[in-house]
Structure 1
Amino acid sequence: MYELLTGPVLWLSFGVFFVGLAVRALLYIRGLDWKLDRVAYADHAGSGLRGALNSILSWVLPFGSRSWRERPGMVVLFFVFHVGLVITPLFLQAHVEIMKSRWGIEWPAMPNGLADVLTIGVLVSGLLLALRRVAFPEIRILTSGYDYLLLAITVAPFLTGFMAGLHTDGYQYWLLAHVISGEIWLVAVPLTKLSHAVLFFLTRAQIGMDYGIKRGGMKKGLAW
């Protein structure tokens, strides 16, 4: 079972993940209004790219935007969760070894102690993000069971991986659960709202380009 899950099934999961996200990105770009957006972006690429970069960096850097600075607690939760979510799977020693043994690909791995700290950070911040959806009425009214399901799908690989790392009597169970939950997450990303992993950058870039071209420094002299 383990060989199957870390072989063909893993290939399939990665295929759905990368192809699905590429399709999502393509559909987003194709959905831009030809006259209002794409023509403006093409004719004023320099100003647009500066605006896009500024918009993205303002939100991917802690306290980079005014909204972040107004909510420091949310900044901590958001970045602890997302940094651990991205860094841990990429540089976990066991994952690097799987990639090397299966496909001959290798890169530096992080110490196991750091991986444990990041994993615990994801679990704790994930729980607090869920409680935040319950505690604040303005967020609770926008939340459905679907949102909790996606959060559970995202956190499950970290919980099962952490349990497997403890090497208890249920090691084989936790290991299989970890692999399966990780592959479910890979498939879910392009098919659900988790696709914001890519769409976030596209939407922030579009907003930045809008302000950089249509509503910002280039507005003077342009017929918008």
Structure 2
Amino acid sequence: MYEFVSGPLALISFAIFFIGIIARIVLYVKGLDWQLDRVAYSEKLGAGIKGAARSLFHWLLPLNRTTANHPIFMGVTYLFHICLVIAPIFLLAHVVLIEESWNISWVTLPDKVADYMTLAVIAAGIFFLIRRLVDPNVKILTTVSDYIVLAIALAPFITGYIAYHQLELGAGYKSWLIIHILCGEIMLIAIPFTKLSHFVLFFCSRIQLGMDYGIKRGGAKGRGIAW
């Protein structure tokens, strides 16, 4: 079972993930229409790129009005996303597994740091869950799928923590390891088809909005363009 989930099933999961994400990006870009959006993307590319860079810089750094107005929520959000991305990619056990399978490797995090980052993801996830349950402004917008997506995101970290520390909570180490791998693969497969895809579509939307503002408000209006 372990050989199957860590071998063929892992390859299938990564294939679905990468193909799905590329498809989402392509569909997003193809959905842009400069006549409909009234933005001359190709003709004013220079101004658009500058605007896109400013937009990404503004939203990636926690130095904006949203952060100032909601410091706790934004702080937890930044911590959650940073740890959720960094910990799995640079975890020693994951890099070793990838090296054994595909003969490639990279620098890894100390196990203790990865452990703390895992706990940070779990704690932040619990914070988001409580917020959805008790904040009426968020609760009214929350659907069942939001809880499912949150569970999919947290499951690999919870099961990974249990497996790493060999906490025999109803199952042995090998069983928890298999469950952990399966949870990770479910997350990879789910990303292109759920709200988890925002991890890449966020950049697409920020780049688009930045280009819109850069072209429209950056002095790029000129003759021959149907504004």
TM-score (norm 2): 0.93
Match of 1:172 in 2: 174
**Whole-angstrom CA distance in 2 between matches of 1:79 and 1:168:** 29
Q: CA separation of 1:49/1:37 partners in 2, compared to 1, >3 Å: closer, same or farther?
A: farther
Further displaced range: 118-127 or 33-42: 33-42
User: What residue identity is the alignment partner of 1:35?
Assistant: Q
**Whole-angstrom CA distance in 2 between matches of 1:159 and 1:15:** 24
**1:176-191 superposed matches below 5 A:** 176-191=178-193
**Equivalent pair of 2:118/2:161 in contact (CA under 8 Å):** yes
**Equivalent pair of 2:47/2:220 in contact (CA under 8 Å):** no
Match of 1:218 in 2: 219
SS at match of 1:41: coil
* 1:40 shift after superposition: 0.4
5+ residue gaps in structure 2? Answer: none
User: What residue identity is the alignment partner of 2:20?
Assistant: G
**Equivalent pair of 1:48/1:213 in contact (CA under 8 Å):** yes
**Equivalent pair of 2:166/2:173 in contact (CA under 8 Å):** yes
Kindly tell me the number of residue pairs found equivalent between the two proteins: 222
* 1:56 shift after superposition: 1.4
SS at match of 2:57: helix
* 1:38 shift after superposition: 8.5
1:94-114 CA-to-partner distances (Å, cap 9, x unmatched) read 000001111101111110000
Further displaced range: 133-142 or 177-186: 133-142
**Whole-angstrom CA distance in 2 between matches of 1:104 and 1:219:** 48
* 1:156 shift after superposition: 0.2
Q: CA separation of 1:38/1:27 partners in 2, compared to 1, >3 Å: closer, same or farther?
A: farther
* 1:217 shift after superposition: 2.1
Q: Higher relative CO (CA 8 A, sep ≥ 6), structure 1 or 2?
A: 2
Match of 2:123 in 1: 124
**Whole-angstrom CA distance in 1 between matches of 2:99 and 2:173:** 22
User: What residue identity is the alignment partner of 1:135?
Assistant: V
**Whole-angstrom CA distance in 2 between matches of 1:47 and 1:71:** 32
User: What residue identity is the alignment partner of 2:86?
Assistant: I
Q: CA separation of 1:217/1:69 partners in 2, compared to 1, >3 Å: closer, same or farther?
A: same
Q: What percentage of residue pairs aligned between the two structures are identical?
A: 47
User: What residue identity is the alignment partner of 1:54?
Assistant: R
User: What residue identity is the alignment partner of 1:118?
Assistant: M
Match of 2:95 in 1: 96
Further displaced range: 93-102 or 162-171: 162-171
Match of 2:58 in 1: 58
* 1:168 shift after superposition: 3.4
* 1:68 shift after superposition: 2.1
**Whole-angstrom CA distance in 1 between matches of 2:10 and 2:65:** 41
Match of 2:201 in 1: 199
* 1:9 shift after superposition: 0.5
User: What residue identity is the alignment partner of 2:177?
Assistant: L
1:52-105 CA-to-partner distances (Å, cap 9, x unmatched) read 111112111122x22222211112111111011100000001000001111101
Match of 1:208 in 2: 210
Q: CA separation of 1:145/1:39 partners in 2, compared to 1, >3 Å: closer, same or farther?
A: closer
User: What residue identity is the alignment partner of 2:154?
Assistant: V
Match of 2:6 in 1: 6
**Whole-angstrom CA distance in 2 between matches of 1:105 and 1:38:** 45
**Whole-angstrom CA distance in 2 between matches of 1:38 and 1:221:** 13
1:136-169 CA-to-partner distances (Å, cap 9, x unmatched) read 2111111011101000000000000000011234
**Equivalent pair of 2:39/2:212 in contact (CA under 8 Å):** no
**Equivalent pair of 2:44/2:220 in contact (CA under 8 Å):** no
**Whole-angstrom CA distance in 2 between matches of 1:46 and 1:132:** 42
